[in-house]
Amino acid sequence: MNGIARTCLLAALAGWMTAGQPEGWAATKRPTAPAAKKHGVAQNPYLSAIVVDAATGNVLFEDKADTKGYPASMLKLMDLLIILEKVERKEITMQDPVPVSAKASHIGGSRVWLAEKESFPMDEMLYALMVQSANDVAAALAEKIAGTTEAFVELMNKRAQELGMTSTVFKSVHGLPPGPGQEHDVTTARDFALLCRELLKHKDTLRYSSTRERPFRPNDPKHMVVMHTHNHLLGAVEGCDGLKTGYITEAGYSISVTAQRKGRRVIAVVLGSIDRKVRDAKAAELLSKGFAALPALPPPAPSKIEPVRAPAPPAQAKAMTNPAAQEPELHAHYGYYWAFGLIVISALTAAWWMKKNRWM
């Protein structure tokens, strides 16, 4: 059998075998449905949530607020707190240079593409940390403050315990997914509300967290990065001026957000939503719910109005026009007159009596 005949015979045999088999025989060659998207611990509309009064810490709303989840980049708020506290204790300054190590320059995810041996002022690095949520910056800051990222994580956990964040354990300085043999950062909505309240005691917090756009390396056009906030509630929700978002696949979408209206401030934390738009909508809704739940302020005390008084008259005029002041003096004058009159009458009576009796 020549080669052409052999080829035709094999092709016909293959076609017969395939045609006579059930549909599942060739299933491996057909496109399969895409695998369902994994959400990790995230839920719809969220894993947990809480709203608190920033002034008092009173809970205005909560829903499974102690359920543990993964904060992702929200944990950079703890990075910020530790650094701001050191600045206020004058251990460091906002102008201190922050050098970039090889390790920091290779951190992935959201970044500003730091290069080894670059150096930037602390203030600029904090903008990159909060606006761009730059993971390479988080590592460089940690190394600047504590020497290593591992030592900085110890500071993060120590401060968390001091704040009463009893369900929180940090494992990283940036919130990225853990590598092989590593564990997730863990927290709760309630714990993050505590962290946010503490951060709001520092005036610079809102300077960073309210910034929506800012250039990084503005003097180097070739390597400049225009940073954009991940907090889409800024400029969209009344009074919103912070704080931080977070996302990794296993964690879902999270946000710690604050707003001020009519001089009062609330904090909302949404942890583990399956969708960014759902997270943002729920966060905006919870802010409104929080303001509505704030207790009414006591009415202001009425101001005390002092009666208008005429200026005091001069001492002499007062003595002349005030009968009460003149009364003792008049009484004294009347006494003199009575005494003199009695003397005169007595003298005249005596003279008359003496004349009548011929004494005179």
Pairing relation of β-strands 119-121 and 240-248?
A: unpaired
* C-alpha span between 302 and 289 (Å, rounded): 31
Closest alpha carbon to 281 in 18, 45, 28, 39: 45
CB of 122 within 8 A of CB of 83? yes
Q: What are phi and psi of 74, to 5 degrees?
A: -60, -25
DSSP 8-state secondary structure symbol assigned to residue 40: T
CB of 250 within 8 A of CB of 70? yes
Extract the tokens encoding 178. 């853990």
CA 144 to chain centre: 25
CB atoms within 10 A of CB 107: 20
DSSP 156-168: HHHHHHHTT-TT-
**CA dist 260 → 5, 12, 112, 224, 239 (Å):** 85, 77, 31, 33, 5
Question: Could you give the residue numbers annotated as active site?
Answer: 73, 76, 133
CB of 197 within 8 A of CB of 211? no
CB of 16 within 8 A of CB of 156? no
